[in-house]
Amino acid sequence: MENSVRPVTTRWITALGLMLCMNFAHASSDPSLHDPAESQLKRSLSALHDGRLDDAISQLDALLAEQPTFGLAHALRADITAQLAGRDSIFKQPTGKLALLADEAKQRFAGQSNTARSLDLVPSNLLEVGRHTDTIVLVDLSANRLYLYGHQNGSLELNGDHYVTIGKAGAGKLREGDNRTPIGLYRIQPFLTDEQLPELYGHGALPLDYPNTWDRHHGRTGYGIWIHGQPRDNYARPPRDSEGCVVISNRVIPDLNAWSTAGATPVIMVNSIDWVDSKSLQSMRDDLSHRIELWRQSWSARNIDRFMSLHDSTFENGRLNRDDFEARKRMLAARNDFQDVEISEREILLFEDVDGTPIAEVRFKQQYRSPNYEDRSVKTQYWALRSGQWMLSLESERQTPEHTLVADADTPDIVEPTTWPEGASPGSR
């Protein structure tokens, strides 16, 4: 039987369907980026938008046969059926679970509209991706979307775009038990398998290193922030429903795990993404690069006045506050006949902190050489944008095995081992 085509009018388009079609009209993102079930739901909305009502119902029936626990698909199917029978839309004044499903629908398809725009733009968060970083996970918490980016030969490619659930109280975790999802930049930790976890966490979990150095520096508490799957009796959860974790479809978990490297893959969680063109991104990169190079040159030249002018008033390096740090730098600069500082393999990733301050995490390999000491280390710096100027706010350093003592063993250049979050030792160079 030929599929019927009916005019698109509010007479038969459901309240939920009308809302989604408004979003759908602005969305043209690649279906291959999404979970297959979300793509199928989108195809049913396309049919609804075009007036192919029977086709829309057929698409929903096929989706529910494949994913019988997809609550939003059930609701849309029931809503179409109700209105065809002359009854009011079940979403006319939704309450309880229906209101949560309506929220899920809005977030899913507003997010897909954002993806359509993002195909020609890039997130400003990915300011300079390091050549050894193959994958970046970017989570837009206000839009309930997770973007999976691949990075090869200096080129970024969007490989995934998925709906996620976040904390019940929203974004911006500050303390244990506040039911908020953290804002910041984290690294994925070793994967936890389905067999290791209770049913609540679905097909697996990717723990994050919250609280990290930046969080601890600001006194933030809590633990156990993961990206994990769904219980099998529920395809998806409402936009705000976790205790702080990022919850995603079970179908996506294996892909996330396959793309990720434990201890290395960055996960940037932001309240919202600023999509920019390549020219704007380059301008931002040049601005911060100038400050980083000025930092390197100033320390190499032993110009401590200029060097310290780049440091925030609240700067710390793990064990030293700003005043003690400056005193030590002046002592070393006065003692050394020369200093040579070189940096390589730099990466710059951005996020806006809880208070809205733009923060750049800068990681690089540093080679330091002075008359009696040389070493190689990995530095992590956090630069904060204050009144339009990038200021160095926090840094940590982890020495690599190649560090070499050139002179006597009691030289003041050597930093004694000390306890430091995440196992990194603060350096004096």
pTM recorded for the entire structure: 0.86
Residue 82, CA distances (Å) to 14, 70, 91, 127, 230 in order:
9, 19, 11, 50, 29
- 205-219 pLDDT tens trace: 999 999 999 999 999
- What's the whole-number average pLDDT of the chain? 84
Question: What is the token pair recorded at 79?
Answer: 């809503």
Q: Which helix (H) or strand (E) holds 306?
A: helix 304-309
Inform me whether the pLDDT recorded for 418 exceeds 80: no
Find, among 38, 113, 21, the residue nearest to 72 by Cα. Answer: 38
Instruction: State whether 227 and 297 are in the same domain.
Output: no
Tell me, what amino acid is at 184? Answer: G
Q: At which of 244, 275, 306 does a domain end?
A: 275
pLDDT digit string, tens, across residues 304-323: 999 999 999 999 998 899 99
For residue 230, give the CATH number of its domain: 2.40.440.10
Give the residue-averaged pLDDT of 29-51.
Answer: 77
Q: Is the pLDDT of residue 424 over 50?
A: no
Is residue 184 situated within a structural domain?
A: yes
pLDDT single digits (tens) 137-186: 999 999 999 999 998 777 888 899 999 999 999 999 999 999 999 999 99
Same domain, 127 and 112: no
Q: What's the whole-number mean pLDDT along residues 297-306?
A: 97
Residue 99 vs residues 48, 89, 144, 370, 398: alpha-carbon distances, Å: 21, 13, 16, 65, 49
Q: What is the CATH number of the domain that holds 319?
A: 3.10.450.50
Better pLDDT: 372 or 301: 301
Q: Are residues 319 and 194 in the same domain?
A: no
For the segment 411-421, the average pLDDT, to the nearest whole number, is: 26
Are residue 138 and residue 254 in the same domain, yes or no?
yes
**Are 231 and 304 found together in one domain?**
no
- The domain of 150 spans 123-275
55 within some domain: yes
Are 269 and 323 in a shared domain?
no
Residue 300 shares a structural domain with residue 328: yes
Distance between CA atoms of residues 1 and 416, nearest Å: 81
For residues 103 and 177, state if they share a domain.
no
Residues 271 and 166 reside in one and the same domain? yes
pLDDT given at position 113 = 55
Residue 395's nearest CA partner among 365, 353, 362 is 362
Do 190 and 89 belong to one domain? Answer: no
Q: Number of structural domains, the chain?
A: 3
Residues 128 and 271 in one domain: yes
